[in-house]
Amino acid sequence: MATVSVPAGTTALLLDIEGTTTPITFVKEILFPYVREHLEDYLSSHWEEDECKQDVHLLKKQIEEDMKQNRACPVHAVDQTVHTDEEKAIREVVDNVMWQMAADRKSTALKQLQGHMWRSAYASGRIKGEIYQDVVPSIKRWREQGLKVYIYSSGSVEAQKLLFGYSVEGDVLELFDGHFDTTIGAKVDAKSYERIAERIGCQPEGITFLTDVTREAKAAEEAGVNVVVVVRPGNMELTDEERAHYNLITSFSQLEPTGRA
């Protein structure tokens, strides 16, 4: 695949994680199974702690929202105040989290709890964040050219910082100027990218977004953001129309600041 120039006027690069900086298999085969396997034990150990109570409260609010929107979900509500049987209450949280994960939900409530669980796994060395080999040297090169680099992922900001703070390349957090997650909006909503531009302090046209998901690419384009689609092993296949429409790269090393391609 040929070298692609960063669109003229770009001052900031916005990077997705899963399928872009990091193999999809890391998320699907390492991070998610860790949560499924350790969720009940984690809740039992931390149930009385404020952080865990806040996580459960957010899940409860999500369930209420889902019921209002008539989305299918486990019928029982999560409420720590009315259950005398702690095990039953924990079981209900587990059921809801498993249901959300099976549906590949991107809810802030789910992502926050997952991030808190991963924190202990990273800190203990049981998990190291995987990143493609071309990522770190390319970001260093882009930064040397004066570009700012941000992350935008469905995973919580805390989970993002854990992945890059405890990565196979060591702590590489200094490579990023900021992090965004679904608290700023869904990645398939154009308004999210407008808010990010406002937060960064530039026009949407000054941002180039790297993602493997064309629904996200479409939303970013609607906001006026430039898009480069990343094609990595295991990513969703693109249609011929999508391949014709988007600038494509298979490695960050192919993306060059304007005038240097």
The enclosing domain of 117 has a CATH number of: 1.10.720.60
**Same domain for 137 and 229?**
yes
Q: Spell out where the chain has E strands.
A: 4-5, 12-15, 148-152, 178-180, 207-211, 226-230, 247-249, 255-256
**Same domain for 96 and 197?**
no
Cite the DSSP H helix spans in 48-85: 50-68
Q: Sign of the CA dihedral 233, 236, 241, 242?
A: negative
**Which of 124, 147, 166 is at the close of a domain?**
124
Q: Is 53 known as a binding-site position?
A: no
Phi-psi label, residue 238: left if phi above 0, alpha if psi -120 to 50, beta otherwise: beta
Domain extent for 115: 28-124
**Which of 109, 124, 139 is at the close of a domain?**
124
pLDDT of residue 261: 41
pLDDT of residue 257: 86
CATH code of residue 154:
3.40.50.1000
Q: What is the pTM of this model?
A: 0.87
Q: Is 218 known as a binding-site position?
A: no
- Say how many domains are in the chain: 2
**Same domain for 91 and 152?**
no
**Same domain for 155 and 66?**
no
Please give the Cα distance from 50 to 62 (Å, whole number).
18
In three-state secondary structure terms, 227 is: strand
Q: b/e map of 82-108 (b: 16 or more CB within 10 Å)?
A: eeeeeeebbebbbebbebbeeeebbbe
Q: Is 154 known as a binding-site position?
A: yes
pLDDT of residue 1: 66
**Same domain for 181 and 236?**
yes
pLDDT of residue 70: 77
pLDDT of residue 110: 95
**Same domain for 60 and 156?**
no
**Which of 124, 157, 192 is at the close of a domain?**
124
Report residue 68 CA to chain centroid gap.
26
**Same domain for 153 and 97?**
no
**Same domain for 138 and 253?**
yes
On whether the CB atoms of residues 101 and 113 are closer than 8 A, the answer is no
**Same domain for 220 and 95?**
no
**Same domain for 186 and 225?**
yes
Q: Is 16 known as a binding-site position?
A: yes
Please give the Cα distance from 220 to 215 (Å, whole number).
9
CB atoms within 10 A of CB 18: 22
- Print pLDDT tens along the chain (261 aa): 689 999 999 999 999 999 999 999 999 999 999 999 999 999 999 999 999 999 999 999 998 888 888 776 665 555 555 555 888 889 999 999 999 999 998 899 999 999 999 998 999 999 999 999 999 999 999 999 999 999 999 999 999 999 999 999 999 999 999 999 999 999 999 999 999 999 999 999 999 999 999 999 999 999 999 999 999 999 999 999 999 999 999 999 999 987 444
On whether the CB atoms of residues 38 and 44 are closer than 8 A, the answer is no
Q: Is 18 known as a binding-site position?
A: yes
**Same domain for 91 and 175?**
no
DSSP state of 171: -
pLDDT of residue 63: 87
Any bridge partners for residue 228, and if so which?
A: 210, 247
**Same domain for 150 and 226?**
yes
pLDDT of residue 106: 87
